[in-house]
Each structure stands twice: as C-alpha cells, then as structure tokens.
C-alpha cells in the first residue's frame, strides 16, 4: 500500500483545465475583464491540496494586473465564513463553500488493492490500479472545480467582489494564517447551528407580508428537502453502477481463458459502463449536490430576512410600548428605524437574488440534463455497436 | 483373434476420411474442432489452462486467433495429441459402443498411419447416427409446475413434453407428469449403470430443503416463485443433456421416463432413506480411497486431461462466483434506480418552473423504465449465464468422478495381479511340498485369477477408451453450449442497450425544451 499511495499522493500536480468543469454546475457567470479568477494549478500532497489561485484584474485597488497565490481549503472556508458573518451581506445569497477535498474513499480502495495484491493476477492488478488512479484523478479534478466555482461566483457578484477580505485572499501572497477551527470553536459552531435552526423554525412560522417571499419560503423548504433526497439517492445509484465494474473485470479475465473475443468485448463494455457512471456522477449527482448547497444558502438568506422581520416587528411593538409608557421613546425609535432599514435593505436585494437564483438553477439543470441525455445516448450507442459486432462475429463462426 | 490391422469397414464416409488424413496432414496436433473449422488452429495458445502439453511433432503454423474468425471457439477445446507411443489406438468398433469391442490386448503398436483420433470420432458419430436412422432431433420441455397435495407431503408436479422424430420412440409427441424425485431416480439409475464404465452422466439438479419447504408450506411469494422457475429450467436442461448423450438416450430407463405415464416412486432418492445414507457412506469411502491409490499413469493423455479439468474446474468456479456477484449488483442497481426515480419525481413536483418540472418528471419516468430494464437484465444474467456455469461446475465434478472410476478399475486390476502373483508363489512352494490336492486347488485358483486379471485389464482398457470418447464429446458439447448461451446473453445485452437508447432519445427533446 505504501508504495502505491506514495506514488499517487505525493507531488501529484495536474494542470487543471478549468473551463469546461466550470460550466458544468454554473452558468451565466459574467466574466468581465475587470476581475477574472481561476485556479490554474493544484498540487496534492499527503493530506492537503494546494490551489494556485490566479487573478487577472484591471481594478485599481490591486497592485498588479495579474498575479497568483497559493491557497488551501481552510482559507476558502475562512473567506466564506467572513461573508456569512458580515451583516452587510445579509441580503445576499452567499455562494456555498466548496466541500472539503475528500480522498478517503479512494485511499481506502487503494489500500485494499495493495493488500489484495497477492490474490489476483498481474493483469487484474494493473487494471484495477489504473482504474483507481483514474478515479482519484477524477475526484481531484472535481474538488478543484468546486473551489473554482466558489471563487468565480464571488467574483461575479456585484457586491461581494468588492469585499476587502476577498481582495486580501486573492492578493496576499503569504500564508493567511488561517488555522482550522479547533475543538472548542467547532463545539461553538455546533451550538450556534442548533440555536440557528431552532430559531429558523420560529422565524419560518411567522407569516410574511410579502407574497413573493412567502411563496419562496415554502418552495425553498420543500425543494431543499427533495434535492437532498434526490442527491443521496442518485449517489447511491451511481455507486452501485460503479461497483459492478470490478466483477466485470474478473469475468473478463476468466473468460479470457476460453473465449478471447468475448472477454475483449466485456473489457470494452466495462470501460464504457465506467464512463457512464462517471458521466452520470458529473452531470446529475454533482448538479444535485451543488443545488443542495445553493438552496441551503438561499434558505439562509430567507432566514436572515425573516429574522430581520421579526426584529422589526419586535422593535415596533417595543416602540408602541415605550410610547404608551412614554419612557425611552427616542431609544425605541432609533432601534426601530435601524431594524426597519435593515429589513428593507435585505428585502430589496433578496428579491433580486432569489430571482437570479431561479434563473441560474433552471439554466444549470437544462444544460446538465441535456448533456446527461446526450452522453447516455452516446455511450449506449457505443455499447450497442460493440455488442452487435461481437455477436455478428460469433454467429458467423458457425 | 485376428490382429486387425484395419478397421472394420465403416462405409464410404469413413474411408474417405482416412484417406484424406493420410494424404494431408501429419498425425500430430489438431484440435477436435477440426470438424468445425477447416484450418487447424494454433496448437498452444498461451492462455490455455494446460500448459504442460508437449507436442513432439511439428507444430502447425501459429495462426493468430484474431485474424481467423472461424477459429473463435477453437482454442476453447483441448488438443488430442498423439505423443505417447504406448497409446492404444482407438479402434472404431461396431455400431453400438456399449458392446465390448474386440480389442486385442496384444496389439499395442500405435496406428500411426491411420490419422488422428478425431477422425475415428467422426466416423463413430456418423455410425451412431446412421444406426438410429435419423439425425439427433429431439426437444424436451419441462413446464407447468403444479403443486400437488398439501402440507409437508406436497410436491411439485412437472409436465414433461417430448417432441421427436426419431424412430426409436414410439410416438412423435409424448406428455407425462413427473415429480422431482423421479428425475433424481432416473439419474441414480443411470449413474449406477454407466458411471463406473466411464460414461459422463449429467448430474441432476440439486435438492434444496429450504426451497422446497417454502413451496410446500404454500408461501406464495417472489422467492418461492423464483425457486420453482429455477428448478423447472434446471430440470429441462438436465433432460436435454441426458438425451443428447447417444448412449444414455437408448437406455430403457430414459425411454420409460419420457414415455410411460406411471413411474414407480423412486424412494431411494430421499436424503434420509437407507439408500441415501448408504450413498453418503460410499462417498466418504471413495474419498479416502482416492487418496490412497497411487496410480502409475502410463498414458500421458489422461494425466494432461485430468490436469486440464482441474484447472477448468477452478476457472469455472471463479467465473460462476463472479457472475453471481454481478447479478446481485445489478439487482441492487435496479433498486437504487427505482428509489432515485421516485425522488426525482418528487423534485419535479416541487419545482415551480413548469418546463423544468416537466423535464424532471420525465427524467423520473426514464429512470423508472431503466430500473425495469436492469431487473430484466439481471434475470437474463442469471438464467442464461450463471445457471449454465453452475451446470458445468457440476458436470466437471461428474467428469472427475469418471476419471476416478478409471483409477479404481486400474487398482482393482493391479490388486488382482498381485494376488495372482502371490498365488503363483504359493503354488511353486506347494510344488515342493508334495500335497497334490492342495496343489490342484492352487492351480485352479490360479487359472481363475488369470481370467480375472485378463478381465481386469480389458475393463481398464475399455474404460480408458470410453473416457477418451466421452471427453471429446463433452468438449464439443461444452463449446457448443457455451457458444449458444453466450450469443443469447450478448443478444439480451444488445436489447437492453437498444431500449436504453430509445428512452434517452425520448427524453432529450424534453430536456432541450426547458426554457
């Protein structure tokens, strides 16, 4: 195991072509010349991935027009959290944070392969190793794409792109000294989340004055749950699709002793099936996963607005009480003003954000579903041709 | 007996074969599929299980298998190489191989000039066909499983329909009802009659206490329906294999099984009966004996074949296990696809953009249909492929059993010889001891033993010859069987892909229509 893992995990640097993978999950990202961000390279080490973030910008506040820095996953999370915690951005859908690079599954499989090396033939072993390497590479590419999408969404957002932290993230070419959260902070986070979700339930119960938002609220809630469900089911489906592969491999090597042509056929169809599973994963599962996260972000927006509404209404009540008692009226008035402003500000931007969200979602689904169907067709036709030609040859042999 | 230097007249077909072979090829390697492909295939493809084949003669030119489509299945058969000079020629005996042929034991010189063994085979086959008057044309169907009786004494009755144009049968079409123990009874009769003289008797389907109990108890669920279908199909294959064997076909028990309306109940097949227990004891004794017999193999052919079959056994078992896993996984895939379809439908429902919502519902439908496809494919995987492999794993066990019988026959012969020797020594001692009546007795015993030794040798030769024939027939059948099944299986895969294409093509415009 050691040797294989060492080969794969150390110093695996790949030139990432970001263009195509970018579009797979998100569309309509205005990449105007004023600010263009991409991940030009990525390096995979023992247990972390180093991304090279490359920026091209004509904005005056950057020292140069084109520059690159190296960032790690924790720094992306730091950036995301800084947006979330910033009150100014309460009225926007914060682009969801990229998921942590997870090579554990791949690593496990590689380990199992290493352990089982003695029990299979040389050719089986090399085939499986190649497959695992390809799988590892695919995961790697995906995680790079996810990180890149996050950055591009931020860069495309008219307000977020001006954020100070974002600029520091892009430009500061030394380590941001952002450490991962330690245990205590993680516990704090956990409790914060619990409180937030309880509050969320409360807030959600409050009927909204605006029909648009009311509708969005109910829609998003349901949608989010269903996307979660669909995402997990599609994951499982694709996983069982993938798990057929190793057995086909064994079958083809066994058959090889008897029927050469047939075993070749199975080998080829197996490769195609693996591609099918990979494509399904890319077009369907990733799509659903991404929109799971985005719909969560949209829900968060609604929650913040709902919170602001509740605060506003509470402030109103407090003001009325203060006026009735004629005590601390000024204070109550100012706080009511503040709440009102906050609420209105959020509502204004939220509406636009949610409409944008819908447009993006529909476009992304369309693109992916069309591509999924086209790829499925392509592979099925390929399979069909292989099978038919083999059957023809076998029959002709009589 | 006349030292026959020439085979008995076989008819024209036979003669021409010999002449062709004498003129054309050398008498070394050709595979059995010389019947199927005009060109000889390359002798020893590296992937062949029996790597130990050493061909002394000039190798045929190595024909690349990929270039020669006709040799597709050639490599699947083993060679019959005529290396060992001690090999006895396989004489084509008279019409019915069951009759002990006149094999002069004195004649051990190989018939080098008479061509390859398969030529004998072919002429023999033709003979057998000529003898019965018509070509093999028989179709047996096992159908209509019906539960008869109730409770623990219930059993499944099957309808066995025989359609044939062969003259040895009294009617063209016969239908009888049989139960599982009848099949087992038939098999045990055939096995006891033919196994020990070297014929490969196809094994009957296995008993299954769990499966049958479910059926008896009357559980009407999917698994018991599957069990019944599995058994029905296995019984059908078993009968077809049995009648394809030219010797077994003519066995009176087989004919009675197929034709007579009432069969005596085969009680000895019950697992817990006296016969059943006797069988188990015998099996154990056999296993012990096998380990103790050290056979002096004078014939390399048998050694090679034995090794080949061991390897084949291993490979088939591995393959079988893999296919079973494949079936499992496909079923799992189908379940997951179904649940995803439902989930996608729900998502489509909650989507408020109408076109997207419609597209998502369509996606759900497509996935549902695909799920059904997967299920059907798993069914095909299983019945076509996996069951065939299981059958062959059991068949190979029967083949190995036949080889073991040969060993037993040999050891019996050797034991008799040893006994004869001892008696001879005893006799010579008695000669000096001057006991006339004991001497006479000893001499009588010796004569008797001499006869037994001769008989033992004859038996051994006969079983060896029969096994050679059987093995080549088995090989041919195996290739044919596998080929047919694999073609069918591939066709089922083709169909699946075609359906997949249809579904996705229907979906594509829907996806494109999302505005």
Across the interface, do A251 and B323 touch by the CB < 8 Å criterion? Answer: yes
Q: Please report which confidence band the pLDDT of residue A13 belongs to, taking 50, 70 and 90 as the band edges.
A: very low
In DSSP terms, which residues pair with A68 in a beta bridge?
A54
Q: Which residues of A touch B346 (CB under 8 A)?
A: 226, 229-230
Residue in chain A nearest B486 by alpha carbon: A262
pLDDT in the model for residue B166 = 77
Inter-chain CB proximity A394 and B497 less than 8 Å: no
Distance CA B116, CA B22 (A): 9
Identify which of A361, A391, A397 has the shortest CB distance to residue B490. Answer: A391
What pLDDT sits at residue B268? Answer: 62
Least confident residue range of A138-142, A336-340, B77-81, B312-316: B77-81
Mean pLDDT of A377-398: 82
- The pLDDT of residue B231 is 86
Picking from B13, B89, B75, B69, the residue whose alpha carbon sits closest to that of residue B41 is: B75
Candidates B49, B332, B511; nearest CB to A240: B332
Tell me, yes or no, if A236 comes closer than 8 A to chain B by beta carbon. yes
The answer to whether the CB atoms of B494 and A391 lie below 8 A apart is: yes
Contact check, Cβ <8 Å, B351/A384: no
Q: Does A230 touch chain B (CB under 8 A)?
A: yes
Nearest CA to A89 out of A142, A19, A162 is that of A162
Judged by CB atoms closer than 8 Å, whether chains meet at B504 and A377 is answered as: yes
Burial code (b: 16+ CB inside 10 Å, e: under 16) for A121-147 equals: eeebbebbbebbbebbeebbbbbbbbb
B interface test, pick of A226, A267, A367 with most B CB neighbours within 10 Å: A226
Cα–Cα nearest to A126, from A251, A12, A253: A253
Q: What percent of chain A has pLDDT over 90?
A: 2
Q: Quote the pLDDT of residue B303.
A: 85
What are the two backbone dihedrals, phi and then psi, of residue B56, each rounded to the nearest 5 degrees?
-75, -30
pLDDT tens per residue, range B231-243: 888 888 888 888 8
- Taking chain B (515 residues) in runs of 10, the rounded mean pLDDT of each run is 41 38 35 35 36 36 37 40 37 37 38 39 42 62 80 79 79 84 86 82 80 69 78 87 84 83 69 70 75 71 85 84 81 82 82 83 87 82 81 88 85 87 85 79 85 88 87 85 82 88 90 81
A370 vs B339: CB contact, 8 Å cut-off? Answer: no
Nearest to A237 among B336, B359, B491 (CB): B336
Task: Establish whether this prediction's ipTM goes over 0.90.
Answer: no
Question: In chain A, which residues have their Cβ closer than 8 Å to the Cβ of B337?
Answer: 237
User: Angle at Cα B503 formed by Cα B501 and Cα B504, nearest 5°?
Assistant: 70
Q: Which residue of B has its CA nearest to A277?
A: B333
How far apart are alpha carbons A294 and A359 in whole angstroms? 13
Band (pLDDT 50/70/90 cuts) for residue A248 is low
Question: How close, in Å, is residue A46 to chain B by CA atoms?
Answer: 33
Distance from C-alpha of A210 to C-alpha of A143, rounded to nearest angstrom: 39
Which of B315, B322, B494 is the closest to A384 by Cβ?
A: B494
Q: Does A257 touch chain B (CB under 8 A)?
A: yes
Does A259 sit within 8 Å of B72, measured CB to CB?
Answer: yes
A16-30, A170-184, A336-350: the lowest-pLDDT one:
A16-30
Contacts of B74 in chain A (CB under 8 A): none
pTM over 0.80: no
Contact B329 A250 (CB under 8 A): no
Inspect the interface and report whether the beta carbons of A227 and B347 lie closer than 8 Å: yes
A241–B contact, CB cutoff 8 A: yes
Each residue of A162-200: b (16+ CB within 10 Å) or e?
Answer: ebebbbebbbeeeebebeeeeeeeeeeeeeeeeeeeeeb
Using CA atoms in the order B222, B228, B231, B237, what is the torsion angle rounded to 10 degrees? -100
- Is B69 in Cβ contact with A393 (below 8 Å)? yes
Minimum distance, in Å, between the CA of residue A141 and any CA atom of chain B: 26
Contacts of A376 in chain B (CB under 8 A): 500, 504
Confidence of residue A311 (pLDDT cuts 50, 70, 90): confident
| Per-residue pLDDT at B24 | 35
Q: Using the beta-carbon criterion (under 8 Å), do B494 and A395 form an inter-chain contact?
A: no
CB contact under 8 A, A380 and B504: yes
Contact A241 B359 (CB under 8 A): no
Helices within A53-99 (DSSP H only): 73-85
Contacts of A398 in chain B (CB under 8 A): 483
Q: What is the pLDDT of residue A210?
A: 67
pLDDT confidence of residue A322: 87
DSSP state of B85: T
Question: For residue B320, what is the nearest residue in chain A, using CA coordinates?
Answer: A251
The predicted model gives A299-317 an average pLDDT of: 86
| Closest chain A C-alpha to B74 CA, distance in angstroms | 9
Average pLDDT over residues A145-165: 88
By Cβ distance, the residue of A239, A250, A262 closest to B322 is A250
Flag whether pLDDT at A268 surpasses 50. Answer: yes
How close does chain A come to B322, measured CA to CA in Å? 6
Q: How far apart are CA A255 and CA A249, in angstroms?
A: 10
Chain A residues 333-372 within an 8 A CB cutoff of chain B: 358, 361-362, 365-366, 369-370, 372
**Which contacts of A378-383 are long-range, i.e. CB under 8 A and separated by 24 or more positions?**
A379/A272, A379/A273, A379/A275, A379/A276, A379/A279, A380/B497, A380/B500, A380/B501, A380/B504, A381/B497, A381/B501, A382/A272, A383/A269, A383/A272, A383/A273, A383/B493, A383/B497
Query: Which of B490, B506, B510 is most worth mutating to test chain A (most A CB atoms within 10 A of its CB)?
Result: B490
Looking at residue B29, its pLDDT comes to 32
Q: Enumerate the residues of chain A whose CB falls inside 8 A of the CB of residue B329.
A: 240, 243-244, 247
Question: Over the stretch A22-69, which tens digit does the pLDDT of each residue have?
Answer: 344 544 455 566 888 888 888 887 778 889 988 888 888 888 888 888
How buried is A204 (Cβ within 10 angstroms: 0-12 exposed, 13-18 middle, 19+ buried)? middle
Which of B65, B323, B512 faces A260 most closely, judged by CB atoms? B65
Cβ A386 vs Cβ A265: under 8 Å: yes
C-alpha distances in angstroms, B196 versus B98, B135, B201, B238, B456? 13, 28, 10, 20, 13
Contact at 8 Å (CB) between B21 and B27? yes
Query: What is the pLDDT, as a whole number, of residue A207?
Result: 62
Chain B residue numbers touching A383 (CB-CB < 8 A): 493, 497
- A236 chain-B contacts, CB cut-off 8 A: 336, 339-340
Q: What distance in Å separates residue B85's CA from the closest CA in chain A?
A: 30
CB contact under 8 A, A391 and B487: yes
pLDDT at position B71 is 37
CA distance A28 to chain B (A): 14
Is the Cβ pair A373, B507 closer than 8 Å? yes
Question: By CA distance, what is A374's nearest residue in B?
Answer: B508
Report whether pLDDT(A260) > 50: yes
Q: Model confidence over A270-303: pLDDT tens digits? A: 778 777 877 777 788 888 888 888 888 888 888 8
Among candidates A229, A259, A384 on the partner chain, residue whose Cβ is nearest the Cβ of B343? A229
Contacts of A362 in chain B (CB under 8 A): 353, 355-356, 514
What is the torsion angle, in degrees rounded to the nearest 10, for the CA atoms of residue A369, residue A375, residue A378 and residue A384? Answer: -90
Return the pLDDT at B269: 62
């Amino acid at each position: 195991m050691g040797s294989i893992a060492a080969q794969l995990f150390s110093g695996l640097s790949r030139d990432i072509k970001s263009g195509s993978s970018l579009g797979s999950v998100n569309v309509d990202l205005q990449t105007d010349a004023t600010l263009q961000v991409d991940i030009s390279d990525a390096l995979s080490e023992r247990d972390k991935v180093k991304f090279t973030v490359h920026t091209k910008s004509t904005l005056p506040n950057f020292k140069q027009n084109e520059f690159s820095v190296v960032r790690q996953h924790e720094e992306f999370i730091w950036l995301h959290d800084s947006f979330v915690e910033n009150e100014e951005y309460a009225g926007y859908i914060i682009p969801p944070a990229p998921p942590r690079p997870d090579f554990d599954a791949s690593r496990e499989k590689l380990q199992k392969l290493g352990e089982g090396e003695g029990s299979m033939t040389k050719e089986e072993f090399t085939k499986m190793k190649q497959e695992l390497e390809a799988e590892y590479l695919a995961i790697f590419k995906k995680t790079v794409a996810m990180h890149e999408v996050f950055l591009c969404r931020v860069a495309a957002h008219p307000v977020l792109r001006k954020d100070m932290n974002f600029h520091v993230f892009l430009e500061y070419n030394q380590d941001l000294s952002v450490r991962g959260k330690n245990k205590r902070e993680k516990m704090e986070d956990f409790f914060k989340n619990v409180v937030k979700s309880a509050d969320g339930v409360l807030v959600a119960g409050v009927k909204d004055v605006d029909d648009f938002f009311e509708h969005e609220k109910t829609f998003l809630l349901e949608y989010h749950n269903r996307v979660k469900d669909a995402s997990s089911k599609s994951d499982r489906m694709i996983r069982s699709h993938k798990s057929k592969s190793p057995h086909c491999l064994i079958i083809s090597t066994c058959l090889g002793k008897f029927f050469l042509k047939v075993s070749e056929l199975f080998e080829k169809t197996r490769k195609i099936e693996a591609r099918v599973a990979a494509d399904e994963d890319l077009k369907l599962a990733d799509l659903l996963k991404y929109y799971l996260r985005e719909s969560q972000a949209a829900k968060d927006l609604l929650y913040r607005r709902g919170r602001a509404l509740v605060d506003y209404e509470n402030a109103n009540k407090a003001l009325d009480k203060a006026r009735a008692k004629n005590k601390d009226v000024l204070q109550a008035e100012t706080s009511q003003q503040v709440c009102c402003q906050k609420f209105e500000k959020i509502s204004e931007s939220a509406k636009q954000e949610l409409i944008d969200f819908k447009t993006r979602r529909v476009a992304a689904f369309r693109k992916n579903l069309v591509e999924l169907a086209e790829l499925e067709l392509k592979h099925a036709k390929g399979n069909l041709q292989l099978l038919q030609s083999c059957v023809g040859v076998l029959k002709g042999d009589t | 007996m006349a030292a026959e230097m020439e085979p008995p007249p076989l008819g024209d077909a036979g003669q021409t074969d010999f002449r062709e072979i004498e003129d054309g090829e050398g008498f070394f390697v050709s595979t059995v599929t010389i019947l199927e492909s005009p060109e000889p295939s390359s002798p020893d493809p590296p992937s062949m299980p029996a790597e130990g084949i050493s061909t002394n003669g000039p190798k045929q030119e190595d024909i690349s298998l990929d270039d020669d489509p006709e040799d597709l299945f050639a490599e699947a058969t083993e060679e019959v190489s005529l290396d060992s000079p001690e090999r006895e020629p396989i004489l084509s005996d008279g019409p019915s191989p069951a009759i002990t042929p006149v094999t002069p034991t004195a004649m051990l010189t190989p018939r080098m000039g008479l061509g390859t063994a398969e030529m004998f085979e072919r002429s023999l086959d033709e003979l057998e066909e000529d003898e019965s008057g018509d070509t093999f044309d028989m179709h047996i169907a096992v159908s209509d499983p019906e539960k008869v009786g109730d409770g623990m004494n219930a059993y499944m009755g099957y309808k066995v329909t025989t359609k044939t144009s062969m003259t040895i049968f009294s009617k063209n079409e016969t239908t009888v009802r049989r139960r599982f123990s009848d099949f087992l009874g038939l098999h045990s009769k055939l096995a006891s009659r033919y196994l020990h003289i070297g014929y490969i008797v196809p094994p009957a389907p296995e008993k299954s206490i769990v499966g049958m109990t479910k059926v008896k108890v009357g559980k009407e669920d999917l698994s018991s329906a599957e069990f019944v279908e599995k058994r029905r199909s296995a019984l059908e294959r078993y009968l077809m294999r049995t009648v394809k064997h030219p010797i077994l076909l003519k066995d009176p028990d087989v004919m009675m099984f197929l034709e007579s309306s009432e069969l005596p109940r085969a009680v000895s097949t019950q697992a817990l009966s006296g016969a059943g227990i006797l069988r188990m004891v015998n099996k154990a004794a056999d296993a012990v004996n096998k380990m103790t017999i050290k056979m002096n193999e004078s014939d390399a052919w048998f050694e090679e074949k034995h090794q080949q079959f061991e390897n084949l056994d291993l490979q088939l078992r591995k393959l079988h296990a893999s296919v079973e896993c494949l079936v499992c996984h496909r079923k799992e895939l189908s379940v997951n696809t179904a649940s995803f379809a439902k989930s996608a439908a729900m998502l489509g429902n909650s989507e408020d953009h109408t076109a997207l919502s419609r597209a998502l519902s369509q996606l759900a439908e497509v996935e549902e249909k695909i799920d059904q496809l997967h299920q059907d494919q798993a069914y095909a995987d299983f019945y076509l492929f996996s069951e065939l492999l299981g059958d062959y794993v059991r068949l190979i066990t029967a083949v190995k059993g036949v080889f073991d019988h040969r060993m037993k026959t040999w050891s019996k012969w050797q034991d008799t010889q040893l006994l004869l020797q001892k008696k001879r020594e005893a006799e010579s001692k008695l000669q000096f001891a001057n006991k006339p009546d004991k001497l006479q007795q000893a001499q009588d015993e010796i004569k008797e033993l001499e006869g037994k030794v001769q008989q033992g040798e004859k038996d051994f030769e006969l079983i060896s010859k029969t096994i050679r024939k059987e093995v080549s027939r088995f090989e041919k059948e195996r290739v044919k069987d596998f080929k047919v099944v694999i073609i069918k299986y591939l066709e089922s895969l083709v169909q699946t892909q075609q359906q997949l294409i249809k579904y996705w093509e229907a979906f594509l415009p829907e996806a494109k229509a999302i505005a």
